[in-house]
Amino acid sequence: MNASEFKNHLTNQLIPFWNNLKDNKYGGYYGYVDHDLKIHPEKEKGVILNNRILWFYSNAYTLLKDSTLLDYAEHAYKFLTGQCIDSQYGGVYWSLNYDGTPLDDSKHTYNQAFAIYALSSYYEASGDKKSIEAAYDIFNIIETKCRDKDGYLEAFDREFNPASNEKLSENGVMAERTMNTLLHVMEAYTELYRVDKKDEVKKHLLEILSIFKSKIYDADKKMDKVFFDIDYNSIIDLHSYGHDIETSWLLYRTAEILDDPDITREIKAISLNLAKTISDIAVDTSVYALNNECENSKVDTQKIWWVQAESVIGFYNAYQLQPEQENYKLLSEKIWKYINTHIIDSRSGEWFESIRPDGTVNETQAMVQPWKCPYHNGRMCMEMIKRLS
């Protein structure tokens, strides 16, 4: 496993695939490609998808310095700021029609966070001050409309009145708070703070880390709880393996950016605990890939694309934090091998969404849809290029 493998996959497979989805007529990128690789121009354009595409091209440009990547990022940026942001009530919509008109005008904290994440990265890539101003506008929306005194809330209507949280709830529960939304608010604020060090952002990052330590992370089981009521009571017996390995390195990234030795030491311990738990219980050693999750003691053995991507980074991060534990490096390498053998689609270079328990590709799933994007696999490539170089 070396940096050139990841660079080759990024530059010769992922980037060309997503380049082909640029919509020159209505803006943004096409929102749906079926399993047979047919583009459906008439399908909805998820705003999370467009946010993540903007993040992808911005970071690819920053890493690779290929000016064409900045052009693709600018195309996504113009769509985000021109169509996805609600000029009347602020924040970003959930989804748009193919022609850029609002389809689902509800607001979700998770989606607002990804807009901040993307706009911050585009600011670093382009130097366009309007993008960082737009990021702070949405940051202020989250802090004034999407939270209470105890932390971050989830779903809202267009005018930011509270709504039910179907979009970020799963497994038959309706969550009033979720680990997933908090994780990605943290990720977004970390990126915003990294590119423009403002104390106000740092203050909220410290608060988020405190919530993670006291409410989300289960110190006894060394895992994260997932879905909560308004008082942070866990409402389901669920262990999300992919989110835990993702959290393990994103938490440490935030600590690194904050650059406080005491915080870094404390978060490092949590990060390593999460990685060890996942390495002990979540790896399918018959193929060396991560199972999906465990609910009420029943393990879902599907192999989900994004879970494998986060595992490559998460286990390698654990190895970097604890170099004597070479098993983490070996796990990262073996999962990358599994991805190459089973997940990467040889026709297109993009990844299949999931592999069934029997090892076959789930052909009912799309190659691109509102949640299927170049964020996890693209980020894996860029992270590993930097870590292995």
CA separation for the pair 280, 282 (Å, rounded): 6
Q: Report in angstroms the alpha-carbon separations of 62 from 121, 194, 197.
A: 9, 14, 19
**At 185, is the pLDDT very low, low, confident or very high (cuts 50, 70, 90)?**
very high
- State the pLDDT confidence band at 132, using cuts at 50, 70 and 90: very high
Domain span at residue 78 reads 3-388
Instruction: Summarize pLDDT for 86-100 with one digit per residue, the tens.
Output: 999 999 999 999 999
pLDDT of 171 strictly over 90: no
Sign of the four-CA dihedral 274, 277, 281, 286: positive
- The three-class DSSP label of residue 335 is helix
pLDDT exceeds cutoff 90 at 109 = yes
Query: pLDDT confidence of 198, banded at 50, 70, 90?
Result: very high
Burial of residue 365 (number of CB atoms within 10 Å: 0-12, 13-18, 19+):
middle
Q: Are 278 and 241 in contact (CB under 8 A)?
A: yes
pLDDT at 135 over 90: yes
pLDDT single digits (tens) 287-297: 999 999 999 99
pLDDT tens per residue, range 35-88: 999 999 999 999 999 999 999 999 999 999 999 999 999 999 999 999 999 999
In the prediction, which pLDDT does 379 show?
Answer: 98
CATH code assigned at 78: 1.50.10.10
Cut 0.95: pTM above it: yes
Exposure class string for 193-232: b at 16+ Cβ within 10 A, else e: bbbeeeeebbebbeebbebbeebbbeeeebbbbbbbeeee
Q: Is the pLDDT of residue 170 over 90?
A: no
Strands 303-304 and 45-46: unpaired
Q: Give pLDDT, residue 60.
A: 98
Nearest to 43 by CA among 295, 369, 286, 386: 369
Check: CB of residue 331 under 8 Å from CB of residue 288: yes
**Percentage of residues in the chain with pLDDT exceeding 70?**
100
Q: What amino acid is encoded at 387 in this protein? A: R
pLDDT at 215: 97
Q: Give the residues across from 25 on adjacent strands.
A: none
Averaged pLDDT score across all residues of the chain? 97
Burial string for 252-289 (b: 16+ CB within 10 Å, else e) reads bbbbebbeeeebbeebbebbbbbbbbbbeebbeeebbb
Per-residue pLDDT band at 252 (split at 50, 70, 90):
very high
Beta bridge partners of 307: none
pLDDT of the residue at 138 = 98
Domain count, the chain: 1
